[in-house]
Amino acid sequence: MNIPRLATLLLGATLCLPALAQPPSATTTARGATTTAPSTATPHATAAPAASQSKLLDINSVSIEQLDTLPGIGKARAEAIIKNRPYRAKNELASRHIIPQSVYDQIKDKIVARQG
């Protein structure tokens, strides 16, 4: 392969890669400007986090039995969680070494640390 052809291929690849890296919702126009597709979110989509938030277990008030339903939390870890209350934030379970980080990663979307 000769040098001019190689240079042309490299230049072409360099110009194409940024376009391929765009998120699917964005498109690039011929002039290089990026446009974003309109949002398809419905009013009901904003209500979902509030509804799921009510299903979160409050680590500052739930019982041993409720904590025991979480993956990776058995009776001993549930007792440790209760013994070390209160928590200002749910990530304190891992930062204070109450439970391992790997277990926290499994349950972090299922718990909350409410104050008061």
User: In whole angstroms, what is the distance from residue 93 CA to residue 88 CA?
Assistant: 10
Domain ranges (residues) in the chain: 50-112
Within 13 Å and on the Cβ side, how many CA atoms surround 12? 6
The chain-wide mean pLDDT, for the chain, equals 78
CATH class of the region 50-112: mainly alpha
List alpha helices for the chain, DSSP H. Answer: 3-20, 43-53, 64-68, 75-83, 92-95, 101-107
Confidence of residue 107 (pLDDT cuts 50, 70, 90): very high
pLDDT tens-digit map of 5-45:
766 666 666 655 555 555 555 555 556 655 555 555 444 44
CB 114, CB 96: distance < 8 Å:
no
What does the alpha-carbon distance between residue 75 and residue 79 come to, in Å, rounded to a whole number? 6
